């Protein structure tokens, strides 16, 4: 199901009751995700990386998983993909400080190539193991609507496989009533050939602009 109308505030309770597993703040969420070994990747990461931004932010952006720099510094979207995202958000008129920016998976998954840690996409199992942490974040932040950056975020948020190129730019409904705007992951834009990149970023900004109305609701 999809709708292109402006999302309205959700009044539906969260999918996972927070109190049941003792998460009542970002600090308790951070501590719990630091200890999480429900899948193998937590053991190899430097730390967990939970979302950042104001509780009560109207709009929440969700990426895939922390990258190398995010893993080292403990903050989401601060590396090359984050820089591209910051640029696109500014172009789209979405001030990052008003948004809550998070990831579907809280630990960095990588493989070693020589001395380099190379990003590996999290699989279904890791995403499923992390889903309740993401839902805890949504329950803490209580956003009106969300933006899914890429296929992993979209499928975690919507509970189904999402064909990002087909469904990008659309508002899709979650089972809690919140709307999710689907678009590409900024890392995908970094992989676009240089002479096509500007146009691809332009389309990404166009998608993000559709979320601006959420910030303008009273």
> What residues line the site for ligand URA (CB under 6 A)?
63-67, 70, 76-77, 79, 81-82, 103, 187
Rounded to a whole number of angstroms, the minimum distance from the CB of residue 181 to ligand URA is 16
Rounded to 5°, angle at Cα 55 from 180 and 99: 50
Rounded to a whole number of angstroms, the minimum distance from the CB of residue 217 to ligand URA is 26
Cβ nearer to ligand URA, comparing 64 with 144: 64
Rounded to a whole number of angstroms, the minimum distance from the CB of residue 49 to ligand URA is 6
* Residue 26, SS3 per DSSP: helix
Half-sphere exposure of 143 (CA within 13 A, CB side): 33
Cβ nearer to ligand URA, comparing 4 with 33: 33
Residue nearest ligand URA, CB atom distance? 63
Cβ nearer to ligand URA, comparing 119 with 213: 119
The CA distance from 147 to 145, in Å, is 7
Residue-wise DSSP of 74-126: T-SS-SHHHHHHHHHHHHHT--GGGSEEEESSSS--EEEETTEEEE----HHH
Rounded to a whole number of angstroms, the minimum distance from the CB of residue 169 to ligand URA is 19
Cβ nearer to ligand URA, comparing 77 with 171: 77
Q: How many residues does the chain have?
A: 218
Rounded to a whole number of angstroms, the minimum distance from the CB of residue 119 to ligand URA is 8
Cβ nearer to ligand URA, comparing 62 with 214: 62
Cβ nearer to ligand URA, comparing 127 with 140: 127
Rounded to a whole number of angstroms, the minimum distance from the CB of residue 82 to ligand URA is 6
């Amino acid at each position: 199901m999809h709708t292109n109308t402006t999302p309205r505030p959700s009044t539906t309770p969260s999918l996972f009751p927070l109190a049941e597993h003792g998460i009542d703040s970002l600090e308790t969420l951070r501590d719990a995700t630091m200890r999480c070994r429900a899948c193998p990747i937590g053991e190899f990461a430097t730390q967990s990386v939970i979302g950042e931004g104001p509780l009560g932010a109207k709009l929440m952006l969700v990426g895939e998983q922390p990258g190398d720099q995010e893993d080292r510094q403990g903050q989401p979207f601060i590396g090359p993909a984050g820089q591209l995202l910051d640029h696109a958000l500014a172009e789209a008129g979405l001030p990052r400080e008003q948004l809550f920016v998070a990831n579907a998976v809280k630990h960095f998954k990588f493989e070693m190539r020589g001395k380099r840690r190379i990003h590996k996409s999290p699989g279904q199992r890791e995403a499923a193991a992390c889903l309740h942490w993401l839902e805890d974040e949504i329950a803490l932040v209580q956003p009106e609507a969300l933006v899914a950056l890429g296929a992993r975020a979209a499928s975690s948020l919507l509970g189904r496989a999402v064909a990002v190129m087909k469904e990008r730019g659309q508002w899709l409904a979650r089972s809690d009533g919140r709307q999710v705007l689907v678009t590409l992951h900024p890392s995908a834009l970094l992989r676009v050939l240089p002479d096509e990149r500007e146009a691809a970023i332009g389309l990404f900004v166009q998608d993000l602009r559709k979320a601006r109305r959420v910030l303008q609701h009273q």
